Every structure is written in C-alpha cells, then in structure tokens.
C-alpha cells in the first residue's frame, strides 16, 4: 500500500513550513558557538593534571575577541589580528588552531607573551632568565606533581616524569611580536611550542590562531569505559569534575 499523491504533498508542505524554524534554530546555535562559547573535547593527556582525557570543557570566545578561526565551520573572512581583541594573560588555558594545520585544534597553557625569553634547563622552566618556582605536590599516576608559580603569582599544577626527558633542555625561545608560547602541563608528554612547526610541533602561535579561553568543565568521563560496560558506569563519570573551574 502506498500513500496517495495528495497525502505526500501535504507532508512536503508540512516539512517546508518547519524549515524556517529549523534554520533559525541552527543559526542561533552557530551564532552562540561563534560569538559566545564553544565546547571542546580533550582527546590527549598533554594537559594533565589540569585536564584529563575525556573532559568536555566550555571555552569563552569573547575573552580574546574574534579572529578568523572563531567560527566553528569556517565562515569568518581571512584576516590577521582580532576584532575587539583582548590580550590573553600568562597562565590562561587556551584553545587555538595549530599553526601548521589550522584544521586541528589544540588546548595548552599560555606560558610566553610577546618579547619573553623562554627556556627549559634540566626540567625547570625559565622565563626571562628567571627560574619559575615550583613546589612538590605529591604524585599523579606515579609521576611527580608540582605547583608552579608563574610571574605575577598565578599558580597551576604540572606533572614531570623526570627532569632529564627529551624536551627538558632547550635553547632560548624569544617570542615574536603578536605571537604566544604554549606548553602542556604534562611537561614530558606534550607536543607544544618547544617543538617547531618544521619538526611537527606547535612552534609560536600567532594571535589570530587563538580561538577561546578554556574556562570551565562541563562534564568528564573515562573514555576507557565502553557504553556496553554498564557495571563500570558509576566509576566512568567523574562527578567531582562537573562544572569545575579551569585554573
């Protein structure tokens, strides 16, 4: 049995009447994600202990103004700089587009501002030739955890496997004008500005590549627990991280 032509026509008319409402709803969602905030999923452990694999965070678009990568679907025109731009602060956790591959989005901590001299020596961070203080704060999954205090007094936690790892000794990086130096809090397991774009790393990040400031967690779940593993669900959802502020 098939529908008669008049019935099909009535259905088509009904769908057509709904299209403006659907278009408006999609437009509002896109506008919010472009102008106000956008969710971001953490896929790697490069920012532990601050961010865990499986975290879903909300990132503020208006914190730094808007650049050519602010639209989640690439609707912004190609231009340098930022509209209504606000300079990011040292220590911010920043969502940005990878300079060598702008289709890829990263999240790291902003360590170096334009004109800064950044270097790692024997596992210790130096900013403008001054060692950044750190104090022991226990362990994280068996690795050493420290609280690091950046110039200006802002504190955050970092994890170190050792102070003699691959990128624990570097040359001095002088941050160019209108660029930033990003590092992961998981210092020995982070592809960041210590590695140049030519070597497959991040390198210096231009200001127009900034997308948003990571402000707050929405929720968090352990990606190793499958949806069919019902018995493990109570342990998969990290309830203590719900709506937590990102420091």
pLDDT tens per residue, range 167-177: 999 999 999 99
d(CA 34, CA 31): 5
Note whether residue 3 is domain-resident.
no
Whole-number Å distance between alpha carbons of 93 and 52: 13
Told to judge if 70 belongs to the known catalytic residues of this protein, a careful annotator would answer: no
Q: What does the block give as tokens for 224?
A: 């190793």
Q: Is residue 31 part of a domain?
A: yes
> What integer is the mean pLDDT of 108-133?
98
Q: How far apart are CA 217 and CA 173, in angstroms?
A: 32
The verdict on residue 56 lying in a domain is yes
67 assigned to some structural domain: yes
**Catalytically annotated residue among 108, 190, 193, 220:** 108
* Residues 64/95, Cβ–Cβ less than 8 Å: no
Domain count within the chain: 1
In-domain check, residue 2: no
Whole-angstrom distance, CA of residue 215 vs CA of residue 94: 9
pLDDT of residue 27: 38
Identify which has the larger pLDDT, 61 or 49: 49
Do the domain assignments include residue 5? no
Which CATH number fits the domain that encloses residue 146? 2.10.109.10
Taking phi over 0 as left and psi of -120 to 50 as alpha, with beta for the rest, 225 belongs to beta
Query: What distance in Å separates the CA atoms of residue 104 and residue 145, rounded to the nearest whole number?
Result: 29
Highest mean pLDDT range out of 36-50, 65-79, 162-176?
Answer: 162-176
Structure tokens at 240: 């203590």
Residue 75 pLDDT > 70: no
Q: If you average pLDDT over every residue of the chain, what do you get? A: 84
Residue 188 included in any domain: yes
pLDDT at 186 over 70: yes
The yes-or-no answer on residue 46 being catalytic is yes
Structure tokens that stand for 36 in this block? 């106000």
What are 202-238's pLDDT values in tens digits?
999 999 999 999 999 998 888 777 666 666 666 778 8
Residue 1 belongs to some domain of the structure: no
Domain residues for 32? 10-241
Residues in Cβ contact with 223 at an 8 Å cutoff, skipping those fewer than 6 apart: 53, 54
The dihedrals phi and psi of 238, each to the nearest 5 degrees, come to: -85, 80
**Per-residue pLDDT, 242:** 87
């Amino acid at each position: 049995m098939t529908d008669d032509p008049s019935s099909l026509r009535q259905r088509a008319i009904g769908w057509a009447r709904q299209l403006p409402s659907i278009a408006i709803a999609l437009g509002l969602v896109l506008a919010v994600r472009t102008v106000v905030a956008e969710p971001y999923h953490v896929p790697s452990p490069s920012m532990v202990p601050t961010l865990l694999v499986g975290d879903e965070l909300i990132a503020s678009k208006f914190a730094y103004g808007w650049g050519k990568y602010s639209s989640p679907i690439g609707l912004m025109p190609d231009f340098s700089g930022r509209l209504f731009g606000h300079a990011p602060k040292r220590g911010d956790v920043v969502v940005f587009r990878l300079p060598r591959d702008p289709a890829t989005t990263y999240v790291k901590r902003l360590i170096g501002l334009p004109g800064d001299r950044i270097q790692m020596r024997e596992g210790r961070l130096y900013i403008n030739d001054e060692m950044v203080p750190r104090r022991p704060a226990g362990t994280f999954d068996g690795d050493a955890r420290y609280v690091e205090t950046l110039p200006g007094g802002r504190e955050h936690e970092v994890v170190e496997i050792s102070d003699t790892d691959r990128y624990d000794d570097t040359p001095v990086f002088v941050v160019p004008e209108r660029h930033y130096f990003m590092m992961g809090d998981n210092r020995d397991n982070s592809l960041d500005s210590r590695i140049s774009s030519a070597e497959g790393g991040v390198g210096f990040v231009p200001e127009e590549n900034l997308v948003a400031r990571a402000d707050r967690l929405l929720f968090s779940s352990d990606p190793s627990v499958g949806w069919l593993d019902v018995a493990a669900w109570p342990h998969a959802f990290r309830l203590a991280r719900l709506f937590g502020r990102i420091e």
